[in-house]
Chains A and B, each alone.
Chain A
């Protein structure tokens, strides 16, 4: 069989594009794990609520009808508002669900996160049943909702048959995720808050003996991780075209696998893992069959957990961030 280079390159472009979204969501898993060793089961579902929030906002402001520069402005509003929504919601959950359990066994924390996940999923189901025009009134609560293509998939490169195509949407995804990742890296490396986050992750007792309010730093971590998930949920929804209460399961599983593959607790690991999972998915979609793709993702997850639990860039054993 002759290798169709153009087809392969197109799969890679699609894979990297989707992978950047997974990476953004994966960062939320990895940051929280890095600082309190919690696998935040509810993170994917937080993103699902973010997508519902964004769609509701589109309906309320009529953003779906905006075009040209106004559409770009609409996307910026959606991104910032949804990031604020998801960040705040994550912060509130930490304050009332996880903070009281700081000294509890890690398993208690995990079970609580699973509980939060159930609550989020049911909130999503309830939200989807609200009679809103933008949801397609009369639709069942569980039915997928159309998410308007505010950013069109117009080609900016290629576009003809036989050419590798890069769309405005791919550009938006890169334009949103890359600055956020660079910004986060800078924050964690060079700001006082970032250094305090690393200090709390490495030794919370010592951090409090330095006068660091560890609860506040952990709260900030939840906010930032949640906000990045909010950004991720908007670009995911635009890219995907539909949203539903189960979105957190799909997007969340990809991102969680990405975080584990990269080495949970490691920020560069989450990015690398996200890109690899994205590419693996699109290669599976393109060369195997789309219905095998979730199986492939699960297989990757299980293989890493068995053979290399610390992931590609993770620190061995208990070391993190």
Chain B
């Protein structure tokens, strides 16, 4: 693929690790405005580490990240959110002893426009009506699927330009997975840019404009979602064909 003129997010030659071990060995990813890009790979390939680097939670050992044309490599995590890049983390990580309402409020932590926040809350409730019914329930008492919806809703409350989602379908009943993928489509139709990490490679690649395949900290393939679905290497390794 030819490099994009001005990608919204550009990760170049990213290196990172834990302790003495390097787990990302020079990853380059680009996401254009309005795209859904999917990141697939086996367990331990480095997908979560990549997202945590982009959110500036995990220390970077080399390479650079730019967002909206600005270098964000040296920013703190809270500043990245303020720039418009939010993440729905792996395992949901909702606040278990805050209510659903308070969890959403924390999602809007960087904002102070009460009316805008209220509008976005209404939008989250349209997307996931169950959250409205559970408003004063503690986050930790929700079912797994509800928690995932809360995690997505919470991330949307910062009104991000781009959303990164880490395995939103993990450990969730099929009917709720369908609902969550629906929500992803709706978000895209509203113009949201999405970087989607998924175990469920088939569903993710069907949805995605483009995809990257990660193996042990390297990008080994990148193509359109449709082409990757056809590739024999992807079919054998990730689609179980």
Contact = CB atoms under 8 A, between A and B. Distances in A.
Given A196-B109, A210-B158, A205 B89 contact: yes
Contact of A199 (B55, B57, B76, B95): B95
B97 A211 contact: no
Given A211-B109, A211-B110, A212-B109, A206 B81 contact: no
Given A209-B81, A211-B158, A195 B107 contact: no
Interface in B139-158: 154-155, 158
B94 to A, nearest CB: 7
Contacts of B110: 210-211
B56 to A, nearest CB: 8
B116 interface: no
Given A192-B109, A195-B105, A196-B106, A209 B95 contact: no
A212 B106 contact: yes
A209 B93 contact: yes
Nearest to B55: A209
Interface in A292-321: 319, 321
B78 interface: yes
Of A206, A211, A212, A214, the most chain B CB neighbours within 10 A belong to A211
Interface string B88-111: 010001111110001001110110
A203 B93 CA distance: 7
Contacts of B98: 195, 198-199, 202
A191 to B, nearest CB: 11
Nearest to B80: A211
Interface string B70-83: 00000011100110
A213 interface: yes
B97 A202 contact: yes
Main secondary structure of the interface of A (DSSP, over half): helix
Nearest to B105: A195
A211 B95 CA distance: 14
B93 A195 contact: no
A213 B76 contact: yes
Interface in A165-213: 192, 195-196, 198-199, 202-203, 205-213
A206 B94 CA distance: 7
Contacts of B96: 202
Nearest to B94: A206
B86 interface: yes
B57 A198 contact: no
A116 B40 CA distance: 48
Contact of A209 (B77, B102, B105): B77
Nearest to A216: B78
Nearest to B160: A211
A203 B57 CA distance: 13
B93 A205 contact: yes
Interface residues of A, number: 19
A23 B95 CA distance: 27
B169 to A, nearest CB: 19
A168 to B, nearest CB: 41
B87 interface: yes
A38 B9 CA distance: 38
A38 B106 CA distance: 24
A209 B89 CA distance: 8
Interface in A130-185: none
B55 A203 contact: no
A199 B140 CA distance: 13
A319 B96 CA distance: 10
A210 B57 contact: no
Interface string A8-47: 0000000000000000000000000000000000000000
B109 A210 contact: yes
A210 B154 contact: yes
Of A192, A198, A210, the most chain B CB neighbours within 10 A belong to A210
Nearest to B92: A206
Contacts of A209: 55, 57, 77, 81, 86-87, 89, 93, 155
Given A195-B105, A209-B86, A211-B81, A202 B76 contact: no
A198 B96 CA distance: 10
B142 to A, nearest CB: 14
A207 B97 CA distance: 13
A152 to B, nearest CB: 45
A208 B57 contact: yes
30 contacts: A192-B105, A192-B109, A195-B98, A196-B106, A198-B97, A202-B96, A202-B98, A205-B89, A205-B93, A206-B89, A206-B93, A206-B94, A206-B95, A207-B106, A208-B76, A208-B77, A208-B78, A209-B77, A209-B81, A209-B86, A209-B155, A210-B106, A210-B154, A211-B77, A211-B82, A212-B106, A212-B109, A214-B78, A319-B97, A321-B97
Interface of B: 55, 57, 76-78, 81-82, 86-87, 89, 93-98, 102, 105-107, 109-110, 154-155, 158
When A and B form their complex, which 5 residue pairs have the shortest distance between CB atoms, in order from nearest? A211-B81, A211-B110, A208-B77, A206-B93, A213-B78
